[in-house]
Structure 1
Amino acid sequence: MKVLLIADSPLINAGLRSVIRDTIHTTYFSETASLIEASELCHRETFQLAIVDIRNLSIPDISMIASLKEAVPELTIWVNLRTDFTLLRSLLKARVHGVFSSKSSTSEFERALRKINAGTTFVSDEIQEQMVSAVIGNIPWPALTERQEHVADLLAAGMSRHGIAEQIGVKPSTVSHYRKIIFKKLGIASMKELRQKRGAIEPTAKSGLPG
């Protein structure tokens, strides 16, 4: 297998060579320190894998990676994000085949190398965790149910937990559960925020806070 290492550090190149040689013994390496040089080299030689490990990777760099992929569609490209996960979406749009980070283990890197001929996409464990966190964080909570709307209005009006429980025919602990769900769905953390959300007037001292 012919591998092109695109890294701006000889030490990084040495480490990558060592891991790859230990996994795939018949490997030929070429090295370059920039994506511009890599693009020129790929037009002269055929590589099966290109690994990009550049400090301060930027959007222009990713555009060059996308252009390289477009020019050489059969080339498998892996990119080290190091610790900058903000570029993950752009890299995936550039159709790279693998993304890993500085914390990726040697063992998962080796496993990915063994599967490279199968065309499997390599996404390291840490990157997968980041992707899941991003997706979960962007999922909006569903709207309040009719019962939750009613409880929210009563809470915002300053009615106590026990008073609400008596009015709607549930236990006070159930009202507390409703309040927790309401706060979560509305993305708030205090009664003041709830009153602002519901357009309620601040309760007077006689009204009392929810119990």
Structure 2
Amino acid sequence: MLKSNLAVLMAERGLKIADVYEQTGISKTTLMALADNKSKGVQFETIDKLCNFFDVTPDRFFVFSKYIFRYETKFESVINSNVFYIKVFSGDNKSLYSYEYSIYSDISDEDVSMIFSGSEGYDYYFVMQSREFDSFGILYKDLPPLLKKEVDMNFINFAKTEVQKYLEGLEIDKGYANVAIIINYSDRNNRLVKGFRFKENHA
């Protein structure tokens, strides 16, 4: 997987898309696509200009990982719930990891307290973990920060969708719910927990 590091390079220098456009002449559309990693291709001349502008080599401008990730959500009738799947490709090898979730409203619940270690202040706790307790966390730890962020966002987007559906089914007053999203990427012996928080309107 190859990703542009343009957003990081700009942030490090306090630059915006408009600044790079004015000084390089590269279109804002192209720059935005590169910064958001939505570009399907880029000309060598463009990379040459940007590397010279930021005074970096191509291996600094791009971030590479030998892994390619594909994400999918499937409804599993056995558990009557959606399951989040992540497929990891590396050469001829393919691995499939599946993650189920539970939603708790009580910090005293054993499954929640074990992860939160006494944290409080949330209305709901959305906990995702692998049903096989696989070792995806080992792979995740070695990813560059930019790619970790991409993996995180795919998990979070799935979590937010499921939380929204859950809240819509509750008979509660209009307002906001503070939700903690907890993702356990790893196995029982090498637990790697990531925590995220968002405020969800359930009006």
The TM-score, its normalising length taken from structure 1, stands at 0.21
Which one has the largest radius of gyration? 1
Q: Which of the two has greater helix per residue? A: 1
The TM-score, its normalising length taken from structure 2, stands at 0.21
